[in-house]
C-alpha cells in the first residue's frame, strides 16, 4: 500500500487478523497498521516516534497535538489532533501496538 494515498481502511493482511488497539474516524491502530483518513503506515516501519504540542499565540487557532515518525527514511507527521484526550488515546494505542515488536527485539 502506498503510504500517501487516502484511506480509511486497514490493509488486509493475508488472512492474519490484527488486534485493534484504537479505532475512530480520525485514526485506527492495530498491531500491524496505523491508519488515518489520509494515510496508512506499517507499525513496524515507524521509527524515531515523537510527539509535539504546537500552540499559537493570540488564540488564533486551537493548540494542535502531533505525532511524528521516521517512515521509509523520511520524517513525517503521521497524526494530529486538536483534542488532547483523543490524542492521548491514539498515542497509547501506538505504544501498545509497538510493544510486541519491542519484546521480540529484546529477546533476539
Give the total number of structural domains in the chain.
1
Residue 9 lies in a domain: no
Residue 4 lies in a domain: no
Residue 14 lies in a domain: no
* Structure confidence at residue 14 as a pLDDT band (50, 70, 90): very low
pLDDT at 102 over 50: yes
Alpha-carbon distance of 39 to 94, in angstroms, equals: 15
Cα dist from 4 to 36, 42, 61, 84, 97, whole Å: 10, 12, 26, 25, 21
CA dihedral over 26, 69, 65, 99, signed as positive or negative: positive
pTM here is: 0.76
pLDDT of 45-80, one tens digit each? 999 999 999 876 566 667 899 999 999 999 999 999
Check which CATH number belongs to the domain holding 48 and give it. Answer: 2.30.29
Instruction: For the chain, give the mean pLDDT.
Output: 82
DSSP strands (E only) in the chain:
20-23, 28-30, 33-35, 40-42, 46-54, 64-71, 74-81
pLDDT of residue 54: 87
Structural domain range at position 70? 20-107
Residue 13 lies in a domain: no
Residue 76 lies in a domain: yes
Amino acid at each position: 500500500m502506498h503510504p500517501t494515498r487516502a484511506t480509511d481502511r486497514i490493509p488486509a493482511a493475508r488472512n492474519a487478523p490484527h488486534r485493534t488497539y484504537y479505532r475512530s474516524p480520525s485514526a485506527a491502530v492495530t498491531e500491524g497498521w496505523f491508519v488515518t483518513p489520509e494515510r496508512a503506515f506499517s507499525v513496524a516501519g515507524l521509527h524515531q516516534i515523537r510527539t509535539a504540542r504546537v500552540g499559537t499565540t493570540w488564540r488564533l487557532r486551537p493548540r494542535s497535538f502531533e505525532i511524528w515518525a521516521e517512515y521509509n527514511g523520511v520524517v513525517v507527521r503521521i497524526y494530529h489532533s486538536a483534542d488532547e484526550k483523543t490524542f492521548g488515546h491514539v498515542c497509547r494505542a501506538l505504544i501498545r501496538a509497538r510493544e510486541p515488536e519491542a519484546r521480540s527485539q529484546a529477546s533476539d
